[in-house]
Structure 1
Amino acid sequence: MSLYPERIVCLTEEPTEVLYALGEQDRIVGISGFTVRPARARKEKPKVSAFLSAKIDRILDLKPDLAIGFSDIQADIAQALIKAGIEVWISNHRSIEGIRGYILRLGAMVGAAARAEHYLGEIDRQMDHIRARAAALPWRPRVYFEEWDEPRISAIRWVSELIELAGGQDIFPERAKASLAKDRILPDDSEIIARNPELILGSWCGKRFRPELVAARPGYPAISAVRMGHVYEIKSPIILQPGPAALTDGLSALHQAISRCIKLRDKD
């Protein structure tokens, strides 16, 4: 028997991305249907789960010795697998530091601790590059990040932290500290309008962000971001999964949007 898991089912995208980056993709026997990173994973691995549901019988047929998921939202899936005798690791990290630690822990679990440290070092260097560029910006725009539209849900903690790192100011930093989405629901639009963001970023998990619908909401024409046309989408696969994508492509996209907002405002 191996010291490390040899047949892993990834119930979310981030363990798949990390394991591929570490060269440990041969251990993966099943992935989430929402996986887009890396693109080759969708061609190479069977899709056995969504985020809220999973094909338990199909997973059991794959004879995994470990299933990896994320958050309390997957508790029912985890329970079903545990009852079937499968070892399960459900991470529940919500911050930049949590994502960094997750990469190291997962690397250690598959006997690739040194490679995980090297991989994290590469990510940290990319983050430091963006941090330095953000520090050179002339000012920091107020940013409203919308994770869902009905009801309105503001940024989760790692997104809020990445906005700050990228050079912006999250207008709801206090809500970002709440781990559950229900605690980040805005009762109405009055707070958003009152805090007057200069940049609105949307990433509606599972559906396309519609800037024109946001701009047409009652009261929104008075918001600086809407008046100036600074309402943009950040693709959900690069920002709403708590893995490497958020710290690399997600952070870069945030910085580009913030820099564009500043450049166009200063030009006017």
Structure 2
Amino acid sequence: YSTYPDAALEIESVGSLWEGLPTETILAMEPDLVIVAEIISPEQVQELKDLGLTVYWQANPQNFQGLYDNLSDLAELTGQEDAAEELIASLQDRVTTVEEKLTDVEETPLVFYELDATDPANPYTPGPGTFVSYVINKAKGANLGDAVDSSWVQLSSEEIIAQDPDIILLSDALYGITPESVAERAGWDAISAVVNEKVFPFDAYILSVPGPRLVDGFEQLAEILHPEVFEN
């Protein structure tokens, strides 16, 4: 999942984490510090500590302040405080610029953000408490997934059709999902987003990976939801 910046692609991968931690590979690298994201379970964190490694577990941010705090923490751990301070200031300025453009916006289109449609009759979407939901709402949209009680949930086609989203964002476009294939799903051709051609591919990495590019996602999402305020 670490595909940005380009230099990240040149760093040796330790392999997949889905079938157990590749502890031998990690130990062979002799790391001074192992930084693990929220996706890593407490049991896996303890497994790394039991190997004598210094481990720092970091939760996913729930909002932009959480993002800034995470960057500050990582900077302190790696001796990059000055660079982080400059980066955070730049991110804050960009967020403020978008917020100011949206100040007078009153319309809040209903947004369905599709994470995974391996089962197109029951696609996954982010629910309340996720960063994706936070950004959709901050961009003056309404996240369709907020109606459920789970952070990451499958919704039936019937429920999505009944909710009738104004905009559909396809973060699974990198897997070949297109606006045309969405329109071909049973009943989806009646959804307002499909009728009005408001189904957009969306780069999954900028909102699904909790890093500085979350601000890129906010900028792009705000422009999709409210293009009229970004015309000039």
**Fold conserved between structures, TM > 0.5:** yes
* Equivalent residue letter for 2:92: D
* Cα distance in 2 between the residues matched to 1:104 and 1:205: 32
Q: Distance in 2 between matches of 1:111 and 1:143?
A: 40
User: Does residue 113 of the first structure (1) align with residue 84 of the second (2)?
Assistant: no
Q: Structure 1: any 5+ residue segments left out of the alignment?
A: 1-33, 264-268
> Is residue 129 from structure 1 mapped to residue 102 from structure 2 by the alignment?
no
Please list, as runs of the form range in 1=range in 2, the aligned pairs for 1:78-89 lying within 5 A after superposition: 78-89=45-56
Amino acid at match of 1:93: N
Q: Deviations over 1:129-159 (max 9, x none)?
A: 1112223446332111111223422125111
The reply to whether residue 63 of structure 1 matches residue 18 of structure 2 is no
Question: Any unmatched runs of 5+ in structure 2?
Answer: none
* TM-score (norm. length: structure 2): 0.83
Which residue of 2 is the match for residue 139 of structure 1?
107
Q: 1:185 to 1:127 in 2, by over 3 A?
A: same
Encode CA deviations 1:3-33: one digit per residue, 9 max, x unaligned.
xxxxxxxxxxxxxxxxxxxxxxxxxxxxxxx
The partner residue of 1:166 within 139, 144, 149 is 139
Task: Measure the CA separation in 1 of the matches of 2:176 and 2:193.
Answer: 19
Aligned-partner residue type, residue 185 of structure 1:
Q
For the pair 1:49 / 2:18, whether they are aligned, the reply is no
* Structure 1 position 223, deviation (Å): 0.9
Mapped partners of 1:207, 1:78: distance in 2: 31
Deviation of the 1:206 alpha carbon: 6.7
State the 1:94 CA deviation.
4.2
Query: What's the % identity of the aligned pairs?
Result: 25
Partner of 1:154: 125
Distance 1:174 1:166, change over 3 A: same
Distance in structure 2 (CA, Å) of the matches to 1:137 and 1:112: 38
* Partner Cα separation in structure 2 for residue 69 and residue 255 of structure 1: 30
Match of 2:175 among 192, 201, 207: 207
Paired positions, count: 222
Q: 1:256 to 1:145 in 2, by over 3 A?
A: same
* 1:118, distance to aligned residue in structure 2 (A): 2.8
Question: Which deviates further from its counterpart, 77-86 or 162-171?
Answer: 77-86
The superposition leaves residues 196-232 of structure 1 with CA deviations (integer Å, 9 ceiling, x where unpaired) of: 1110002129734332222222221111001111111
Deviation of residue 76 (structure 1)?
5.3
- Shift of residue 257, structure 1, vs aligned partner: 1.8
Task: Give the conservation status (yes or no) of the 8 Å contact 2:173–2:201.
Answer: no
Give the secondary-structure state (helix, strand or coil) at the position aligned to 1:173. helix
Q: For residues 242 and 174 of structure 1, do their structure 2 counterparts lie closer, same or farther at Cα, with a shift above 3 Å needed?
A: farther
Q: Name the Cα RMSD after superposition.
A: 2.5
Q: Sort the Cα spacing of 1:138 and 1:212 in 2 relative to 1 into closer, same or farther, 3 A.
A: same
SS of the residue 1:172 aligns to: helix
Offset, 1:66: 1.4
Residues 1-268 of structure 1 mapped to structure 2, 5 A cutoff = 34-43=1-10, 45-50=11-16, 52=18, 54-75=21-42, 77-96=44-63, 97-137=65-105, 139-149=107-117, 150=119, 151-155=122-126, 157-175=130-148, 178-179=150-151, 181=152, 184-186=153-155, 188-204=156-172, 207-247=175-215, 249-260=216-227
